[in-house]
């Protein structure tokens, strides 16, 4: 590996460490609801597993025959039953084409340099008929709209989130990228947990007794799509 490539890998690893390698339990729970609603089984890959928070939950579901995980970070302890793949996800995962019934990228795509490559890679890793689940910050919430208007950036893409968060996407982007990658047009699900503009610790759900939900009132969105059978 030449010096420039090593420097780039070091930068990517540092950015991954700055993210903490973990998402919120709210996001994990929303993904689990999608898994249950779609009755997903077989082999699953946690694509961008970080420190293994979601991976452990996938094992605990006792739903999947095999659980694999991939990340630039080293394998954490306590995951002996998991096939851990140490991998820079900006690069292709060799040897796993068509290996998984489900690939889940929870709060990963915004960390990567090329979202089209990422979704093409997820599609390549899926078996025919497999399911892609990709979550990311919801840049169409009222909180994010206000941040863009007032601060000039989406809520999850300010200075404190950089260089971990580098790629902001909208639902239209997901629809274009998924279909370009030979996946179905995605369905969209929401965490139904979203902070108020300027007061993210206070949620719309709390002040509305749970009535404000969906696109404008969720901090995160989940895109779900199947790969064609042939």
Q: Does residue 118 contact residue 106 with C-beta atoms inside 8 Å?
A: no
Could you tell me the residue ranges of all domains in the chain? 3-226
Give the pair of three-digit tokens for residue 226: 């199947």
Tell me which CATH homologous superfamily contains domain 3-226.
Answer: Vaccinia Virus protein VP39 (3.40.50.150)
Sheet order of strands, 64-71 included: 83-86, 64-71, 42-47, 100-106, 126-137, 220-226, 187-190
Give the per-residue pLDDT at 55: 97
For 157-213, write each residue's pLDDT tens digit: 999 999 999 999 999 999 999 999 999 999 999 999 999 999 999 999 999 999 999
Give the per-residue pLDDT at 230: 75
- The pTM score is 0.92
Angle at 71 between CA 16 and CA 95, to 5 degrees: 145
From residue 172, give the alpha-carbon distance in Å to each of 148, 176, 196, 202.
Answer: 18, 6, 24, 28
Q: What is the mean pLDDT of the chain?
A: 93
Q: Does residue 127 contact residue 45 with C-beta atoms inside 8 Å?
A: no
Give the pair of three-digit tokens for residue 25: 């339990």
């Amino acid at each position: 590996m030449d010096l420039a490539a090593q420097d780039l890998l070091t930068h990517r690893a540092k950015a991954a460490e700055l993210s903490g390698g973990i998402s919120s339990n709210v996001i994990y729970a929303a993904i689990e609801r999608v898994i249950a609603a779609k009755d997903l089984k077989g082999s699953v890959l946690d694509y961008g597993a970080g420190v293994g928070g979601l991976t452990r939950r996938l094992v605990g579901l006792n739903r999947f025959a095999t659980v694999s995980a991939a990340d630039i970070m080293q394998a954490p302890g306590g995951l002996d039953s998991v096939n851990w793949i140490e991998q820079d996800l900006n690069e292709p995962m060799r040897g796993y084409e068509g290996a998984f019934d489900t690939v889940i990228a929870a709060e990963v795509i915004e960390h990567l340099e090329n979202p089209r490559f990422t979704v093409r890679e997820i599609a390549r890793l899926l078996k025919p008929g497999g399911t892609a689940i990709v979550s990311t910050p919801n840049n169409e919430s009222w909180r994010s709209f206000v941040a863009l208007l007032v601060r000039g950036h989406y809520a999850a893409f300010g200075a404190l989130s950089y260089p971990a968060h580098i790629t902001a996407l909208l639902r239209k982007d997901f629809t274009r990228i998924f279909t370009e990658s030979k996946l179905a047009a995605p369905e969209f699900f929401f965490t139904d947990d979203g902070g108020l503009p300027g007061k993210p610790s206070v949620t719309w759900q709390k002040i509305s007794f749970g009535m404000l939900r969906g696109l404008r009132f969720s901090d995160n969105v989940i895109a779900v799509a199947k790969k064609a059978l042939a």
